């Protein structure tokens, strides 16, 4: 016979209240903490109370059941899960003179990257120094009241920028509509132009849907994020990060991974016509360099449709600007800490820019593999690999390095005629060991004899984007300052007549081309080579087999 110690009534009362708050399955329902979910009341105080209660109990799940939850800043805690259930929408409220979002925290290193990368707490959801955090769907986050980063308010969801002038729309950062940039005497730009008055936001204004800093063991899964501000998701120094099965349709960057390690992004669609879809960075926001490494991006889709039209299924393409919609996958530009051990696979690009690998801030960019990619309606360079010398990094002593890049099994249809593939290093600092294999690229053509004569400046300190290089003097590939370049099983096809050479090589050492087919309607001079040595060709259109030059 077991003897039981008599327990006080207070014990049973505590147990009852705890089980009621957490529910039978250990879940805290925000409505038990006062949330209304009616789209009218501000529910952030109630949701934060539920998050605090879960953390104080050692962890738990905070549930937003079906409803519309108007909210300002939510502050995540360790060992907590924020679950936005089916039929639930977390809506970023518009800031007012009486109430708004958490103020941006100070960052003494904000001269080396833009305001959005330098501050984290001015967000709809933020967490810092956390472990074991999850943000789960299948509901959605609607960043209705979030700024795009260059003014106090964003244009309404799904709206378009002002009408085009001479066929071009204003720059991306002017797309929020009419607003006056306030005079901020407290904002003193450093040598790189940051911080600047254009993107510095006052306290109370948020420009990110989700921002995480210095966290580990983080999962985001089964969410939709609409109109996410400057960043729908930004993670800085977040390790062991899983992002899976998200749909992001936004008005600037989709996902930015900055100085993070051991990251998995999978089964995710990102539509971002006005900025990059999935972007890896290694900025100086931490005040020290940290490499972004061990990252996989797989089974994803990126695009540049009009905002909101991926989510509603119409996939409209009315918005146009110089360089075309963004929507791409990019490494850079903030890159002082470097990139290492990155794979991108099984991903589609549609009506957007292509792959961009950019190292311009003195770090490394090495051991990158890309495989099984399809692209349609490519708006500028399908592949852009750039080593430059902007050096926006206090630790930089000179240009960094770009080496060991393998890109295999890629098709690209209807590539814009201005650029082609661009692989551009610097004199004395070549890009090394690049292999392009099993490519089938179809270019629109239309280049002129005058364009073929153009001499392309080095642009070593300029912003590294293909459109800044201007129309290139070749239609298939431009490679300059490169060492050990291989092309195997590659076809470049011009869909209409192009008077430029297909391939231009300048200061290239150790190139090996095999089974290279140039087809379509193009000028009979298909090759332009200057200062090229140790060049080998086999079964290459327009070239004899064997070592040349």
Q: Which tokens in the block code for residue 378?
A: 């490519």
Strands 546-548 and 535-540: antiparallel
In this predicted structure, the answer to whether residue 173 has a pLDDT above a threshold of 60 is: no
CA distances to 165, 174, 219 from 169, rounded to whole Å, are 6, 9, 38
Beta-ladder partners of 188: none
The pTM of the full predicted model, rounded to 2 decimals, is 0.91
Cα–Cα distance, 233 to 213 (Å, whole number) = 11
Cα–Cα distance, 478 to 502 (Å, whole number) = 9
Report which of residues 265 and 183 the model is more confident about. 265
Cβ(452)–Cβ(501) under 8 Å? yes
Give residue 152's pLDDT band: very low, low, confident or very high (50, 70, 90).
low
In this predicted structure, the answer to whether residue 18 has a pLDDT above a threshold of 50 is: no
**Residue 222 CB contacts under 8 Å (≥ 6 apart), including other chains:** 136, 137, 138, 244, 245, 246
Give residue 417's pLDDT band: very low, low, confident or very high (50, 70, 90).
very high
In this predicted structure, the answer to whether residue 186 has a pLDDT above a threshold of 80 is: no
In this predicted structure, the answer to whether residue 443 has a pLDDT above a threshold of 80 is: yes
Q: Kindly tell me the sign of the dihedral angle through the C-alpha atoms of 116, 121, 122, 123.
A: positive
pLDDT tens readout for residues 391-414: 998 988 899 999 999 999 999 999
Q: What is the pLDDT of residue 182?
A: 52
How much is the CA Rg of the chain, to the nearest whole Å?
25
Task: Please list the helix, strand and coil fractions of the chain in percent, rounded to the nearest 5, in that order.
Answer: 10, 45, 45
**Helix/strand number for the chain, H first, E second:** 4, 33
Q: Which tokens in the block code for residue 313?
A: 């299924």
Cβ(202)–Cβ(150) under 8 Å? no
Burial (0-12, 13-18, 19+ Cβ within 10 Å), 398: exposed
Where in the chain are the domains? 28-353, 357-549
pLDDT tens readout for residues 245-286: 999 999 999 999 999 999 999 999 999 999 999 999 999 999
In this predicted structure, the answer to whether residue 17 has a pLDDT above a threshold of 70 is: no
pLDDT tens readout for residues 498-523: 999 999 999 999 999 999 999 998 98
Mean pLDDT across the chain: 90
| CATH, domain 28-353, list 3.30.70.141, 3.40.50.2300, 3.30.390.30, 2.160.20.10 | 2.160.20.10
């Amino acid at each position: 016979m077991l003897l039981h110690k008599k327990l006080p009534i207070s014990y049973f009362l505590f147990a009852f209240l705890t089980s009621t708050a957490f529910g039978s399955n250990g879940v805290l329902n925000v409505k038990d903490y006062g949330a209304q979910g009616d789209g009218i009341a501000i529910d952030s105080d109630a949701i934060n109370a539920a998050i605090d209660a879960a953390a104080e109990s050692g962890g738990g799940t905070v549930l937003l059941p079906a409803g519309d939850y108007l909210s300002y800043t939510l502050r995540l805690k360790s060992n907590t899960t924020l679950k936005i259930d089916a039929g639930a929408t977390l809506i970023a409220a518009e800031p007012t003179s009486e109430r708004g979002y958490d103020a941006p925290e100070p960052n003494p290193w904000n001269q080396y990257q833009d305001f959005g990368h330098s501050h984290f707490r001015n967000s709809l959801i933020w967490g810092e120094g956390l472990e074991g955090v999850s943000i789960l769907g299948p509901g959605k986050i609607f960043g209705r009241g979030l700024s795009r980063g260059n003014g106090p308010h964003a244009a309404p969801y799904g709206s378009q920028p002002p009408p085009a002038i001479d066929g071009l729309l204003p720059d991306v950062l002017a797309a929020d509509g009419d607003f006056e940039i306030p005079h901020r005497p407290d904002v003193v730009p450093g040598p790189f132009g940051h911080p600047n008055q254009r993107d510095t936001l006052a306290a109370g204004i948020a420009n990110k849907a989700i921002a995480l800093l210095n966290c580990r063991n983080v999962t985001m899964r089964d969410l939709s994020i609409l109109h996410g501000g400057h960043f729908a998701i930004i993670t800085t120094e977040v390790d062991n990060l899983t992002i899976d099965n998200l749909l992001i349709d936004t008005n600037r960057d989709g996902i930015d991974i900055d100085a993070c390690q051991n990251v998995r992004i999978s089964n995710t669609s990102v539509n971002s016509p006005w900025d990059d879809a999935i972007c890896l960075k290694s900025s100086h926001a931490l005040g020290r360099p940290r490499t972004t490494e061990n990252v996989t991006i797989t089974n994803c889709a990126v695009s540049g449709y009009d905002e909101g039209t991926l989510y509603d299924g119409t996939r409209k393409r009315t918005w146009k600007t110089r360089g075309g919609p963004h929507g791409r996958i990019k490494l850079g530009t903030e890159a002082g800490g470097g990139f290492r051990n990155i794979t991108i696979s099984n991903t589609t690009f549609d009506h957007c820019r292509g792959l961009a690998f950019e190292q311009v801030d003195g770090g490394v960019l090495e051991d990158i593999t890309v495989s099984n990619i399809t692209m349609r309606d490519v708006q500028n360079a399908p592949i852009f690999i750039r080593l430059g010398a902007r050096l926006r990094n206090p630790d930089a002593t000179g240009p960094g390095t770009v080496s060991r890049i393998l890109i295999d099994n890629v098709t690209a249809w209807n590539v814009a005629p201005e650029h082609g593939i661009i692989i551009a290093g610097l004199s004395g600092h070549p890009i090394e060991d690049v292999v392009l294999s099993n490519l089938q690229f179809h270019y629109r053509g239309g280049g002129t004899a005058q364009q073929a004569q153009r001499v392309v400046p080095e642009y070593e300190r300029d912003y590294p984007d293909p459109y800044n290089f201007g129309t290139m003097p070749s239609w298939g590939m431009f490679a300059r300052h490169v060492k050990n370049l291989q092309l195997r099983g590659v076809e470049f096809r011009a869909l209409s007549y192009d008077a430029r050479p297909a391939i231009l090589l300048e200061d290239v050492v150790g190139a090996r081309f095999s089974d290279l087919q140039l087809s379509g309607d193009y000028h009979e001079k298909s090759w332009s080579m200057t200062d090229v040595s140790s060049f080998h060709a086999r079964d290459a259109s327009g070239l004899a087999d064997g070592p040349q030059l």
